[in-house]
Structure 1
């Protein structure tokens, strides 16, 4: 890799194996798509006047990748989260949904989708025992696989014995967390490894059940990439199915996280990508949906943005719609359609300044997003 002072513009360097240097040296860049997907159906918001929005009318294309851009404070979240998401959630009766911001009405092809999903950076589970493998439902098959092993059958261990959410096989001292929390009255709580199970989360008898010389703790300590290689190398249908269920985590750039990693240790960007992996894993069973992503590139390396774009393409190929609120020009340049709000922030924002392709926006030297996009898209003089 590289270690040393920051590189200067024009300074020659050998990127070697460093992905970061490859992007800095422009030896590897995210390519601009050769064509943009056309669209002929949309969902429209008319009279959006929430917060600083200036009673604007906006059409959001369906079954393509759309980016909503603009400087901070231009009204992007007010339009997309506060109005579009909440209004559609109520339109499709998706449980308790906050009242949308002020707007006149929804228009367009509302029948073309069956719901809306906001993929944000909130934690993936309310319990500290939740983790990526339980969230994407792959752990059900892992528990099934272990319950079918000879030692488990001989001792009458079922699926529930390999769960850390219910009593039976989990450590009773830490209740399957592997750690115990010592509450300090005037200081931060102290987290200690459970002395009873030594952090392994399960009773000793449960840990005696092995699949290919690995117990349930060993499996949960594997990274996503290690687990995919492990399960795909065996012929049992359940093992193959586990590997297939884990693939979406690898596709969104999370091959390095552990299967049993606590959801509380995941960053906001990682939590967002786990949610995306969940939707990718069940895309064949869903009606067409509008997926809203709020700044999905936060905390991502450029290399991981490429994987994110492939995941977006996978959703769109299944008939879904991807809508992102984004500042990263590497992502914006790959969108099929861009909606730019502004031109400024606060009272100087709230107008729809541009709707069209990224190439057209790059031509707009009067807009901040257009100027920023010029460094990514060649502009015809």
Structure 2
């Protein structure tokens, strides 16, 4: 470990640091470290070195677990059960707020406005100032329906106290009754729901999960409303209506009370009202095949009923305000002058201005939160905390610069410092030198990744890090150079008249046979141009950071197909069936069914997962573990890192896939680790590895430097060169100046974001961009290369 310099962090006493003793979570090796409180600490190190294990898996996880334990048992039952991190001691923890890049939930009713409480403040504003006056704030909520009815209430005062009295009530909400506040109307192709020539017992229903012998189909067949053995085409009009559209009603099936509901409303609630991107792939494919979505004809996609839309402030209704680009909303709010609600207006202005300051001024409040990228989601979550009155909180950030142009990183830095200056502890996992430069304290982990990491390499100030001989210290001032010559294109993909989202009738030729870098500030239109138009061409392979769908049993070995090769090798060496080496079938531990953990349902509390003592977490039976290959059993092989496995399988079909995983910088991940433990950047590199076999393909990569250490960026550039030199075309959407400098051709989108972007502001070589220096990208690239 390099000599630490604590000069930049004066520590009055032991309570001024978060003290970590013996941290062993994931690959951490008995880490002891002090993290200064009320300071901005940046955690550095190569991907897989243990940064997230220390910050998120240890410090943040234990803080959340301890807070959860302060709630009553009744409340705890609705919380996820958290296990204690593998650490000897954690002292002086404060309440921790994680601000990560996870998508903001799979709720079709969640928007940027509702996720940040800005919409709640707008509803309050319109309920006070809107004319005509239509009611309380809930009258402007698209999640609250308007309901009239009557019911029994208990009288609480006077001589009749305790008696029940029937009273009428009316709830005035803002939900559009036609689309139920979703903003979309759906047209369902009934032929995709069922085969009318078949009966229910014959497998007529084509909806995923509705098998002929399944419980859901039995409810239809045994309800008494339809005959399960009659082809649907022979149903009476009433039977067809009951089968498709009948409202919920109680029925008794095999002496069990069940709820019967028509097929259309049933799948509408279970599939169509959820975030489509969050559905399992086969369900999403069915929805896209069977359903046509369009803006609701009654509310015009605003989600709101006529009453909510009728109330206006200065000619603007709440739907208009929510649809504005946030920079325009900020300008409109400055025109609203009402002394009676001055504090509310001031709060709204400050919150909306925060969106602009954080680089999200191009969004609108009605944007579905599920459509935000990981970086956009993290910055949107950050909005909640900027105006908070809480102090002495520990904020934990996971690469907050992800998706940010160099121009926007300065503003992000200012916001991180603002949180610190309010008396909070700010912990940031980051690779960008611009963020490391503002740190009060740096903790560097390594020296390598996976088993080669997990140790503290340096702890101290920035000057000490720069002087240290650590990998991060050596690369802190490293700069990629522009190539002396660039490749010549071998044709082009033509995009003409692109108008998706904010694009302004864009015409551009994307060259083939070279490394093309698409640049521009966040929200300028890069993704709209590339993802919105290139996939329609043949041989285009899109490799992005989206989650990889799969079960809790999915791993890099299963995703890449390596597990099939490994099982075949074990089977051949031992003269048994390959299926024996599957934790999903024959080879599974009888106690945990191959999961490696025992899941216990505590009834009134959440379920608890504990390591299976029978198989010790391997998921395999003792019989399977007796079979070996070159002295290793199947569990030991799956516990190998990719790099270790490449040495173990030095020859054979597994070597090709393992070599590709190493090429994309994933030599440190283990074959059997859960896919959901991979970061967005790791997921993208995993997808790239399994697609690298193609020749003559057009690869589209979306910010492949996300999660990469400075030392790994050069390796990525070498990989991109190899892809191009082997006959492929590579198109990279990227903010990292090293990738820009290394490109053959740059397409710069801008000049700004949202309405202020959507144009091609430069096409040419990196050298030409630096020489021109007129765009924001050109200015930052010139500064980076020192031109």
**TM-score relative to the length of structure 1:** 0.81
Alignment partners' CA distance in 1, 2:594 and 2:520: 46
Alignment partners' CA distance in 1, 2:732 and 2:745: 11
- Give 1:378 shift: 4.5
2:508 aligned residue: 58
- Give 1:36 shift: 1.1
- Give 1:132 shift: 1.3
Which structure would you say has the larger RCO, counting Cα contacts within 8 Å and 6 or more residues apart?
Answer: 1
1:370 aligns with 2:778: yes
- Per mean C-alpha deviation after superposition, the further-off stretch among 242-251 and 341-350 is 242-251
2:312 aligned residue: none
The 3 A distance-change label for structure 1 pair 126 and 367 is same
Q: Which runs of 5+ in 1 are unaligned?
A: 89-113
1:361 aligned residue: 769
Alignment partners' CA distance in 1, 2:660 and 2:513: 20
The 3 A distance-change label for structure 1 pair 12 and 314 is closer
CA deviations 1:111-152 (Å, max 9, x no partner) are: xxx421211112334122221122222222211111122xx3
Q: Secondary structure at the match of 2:495?
A: strand
CA deviations 1:184-223 (Å, max 9, x no partner) are: 7787653322233221111110100012221000001111
Q: Is the 8 A contact 1:125 1:131 kept in 2?
A: no
Q: Which has the larger radius of gyration?
A: 2
Alignment partners' CA distance in 1, 2:490 and 2:572: 51
Alignment partners' CA distance in 2, 1:287 and 1:307: 21
Alignment partners' CA distance in 1, 2:517 and 2:601: 45
What does 1:162-173 correspond to in 2, within 5 Å?
162-165=581-584, 167-173=585-591
Q: Secondary structure at the match of 1:60?
A: strand
Q: Is the 8 A contact 2:465 2:473 kept in 1?
A: no
Alignment partners' CA distance in 1, 2:723 and 2:698: 10
The 3 A distance-change label for structure 1 pair 37 and 206 is same
CA deviations 1:11-66 (Å, max 9, x no partner) are: 895442x121111244xx43432321111300010011111111010111112111
CA deviations 1:136-193 (Å, max 9, x no partner) are: 22222211111122xx32xxx211111233x211224433232244467787653322
Q: Secondary structure at the match of 2:769?
A: helix
Q: Secondary structure at the match of 2:485?
A: coil
1:68 aligns with 2:487: no
1:128 aligned residue: 552
Q: Secondary structure at the match of 2:772?
A: coil
CA deviations 1:279-316 (Å, max 9, x no partner) are: 22xx1xx3522111111111111122222222222222
2:579 aligned residue: 160
2:742 aligned residue: 334
The 3 A distance-change label for structure 1 pair 184 and 335 is farther
2:648 aligned residue: 230
Alignment partners' CA distance in 2, 1:171 and 1:231: 26
- Which of 189, 193, 196 is the aligned partner of 2:611? 193
Q: Which runs of 5+ in 2 are unaligned?
A: 3-457
- Which of 528, 533, 536 is the aligned partner of 1:83? 533
Alignment partners' CA distance in 2, 1:182 and 1:371: 58
Alignment partners' CA distance in 2, 1:177 and 1:314: 39
Q: Secondary structure at the match of 1:363?
A: helix
Q: Secondary structure at the match of 2:460?
A: coil
CA deviations 1:352-379 (Å, max 9, x no partner) are: 0000111111123321100110133353
The 3 A distance-change label for structure 1 pair 215 and 32 is same
Q: Secondary structure at the match of 1:126?
A: coil
- Give 1:78 shift: 1.0
Q: Is the 8 A contact 2:499 2:506 kept in 1?
A: yes
1:7 aligned residue: 462
Alignment partners' CA distance in 2, 1:359 and 1:59: 19
Q: Secondary structure at the match of 2:527?
A: helix
1:244 aligns with 2:656: yes
Q: Secondary structure at the match of 2:552?
A: coil
Alignment partners' CA distance in 2, 1:186 and 1:293: 46
What does 1:343-358 correspond to in 2, within 5 Å?
343-358=751-766
The 3 A distance-change label for structure 1 pair 193 and 76 is same
1:48 aligned residue: 498
- Which of 461, 478, 483 is the aligned partner of 1:33? 483
2:689 aligned residue: 277
- Which of 147, 153, 156 is the aligned partner of 2:571? 147
The number of equivalent residue pairs is: 332
**TM-score relative to the length of structure 2:** 0.40
Q: Is the 8 A contact 1:359 1:377 kept in 2?
A: no
Q: Is the 8 A contact 1:64 1:321 kept in 2?
A: yes
The 3 A distance-change label for structure 1 pair 308 and 141 is same
CA deviations 1:71-109 (Å, max 9, x no partner) are: 111111111112322x33xxxxxxxxxxxxxxxxxxxxx
Q: Is the 8 A contact 1:143 1:163 kept in 2?
A: yes
Alignment partners' CA distance in 2, 1:220 and 1:294: 29
Alignment partners' CA distance in 2, 1:49 and 1:204: 61
The 3 A distance-change label for structure 1 pair 6 and 184 is farther
Q: Secondary structure at the match of 1:192?
A: strand
Q: Is the 8 A contact 1:341 1:354 kept in 2?
A: yes
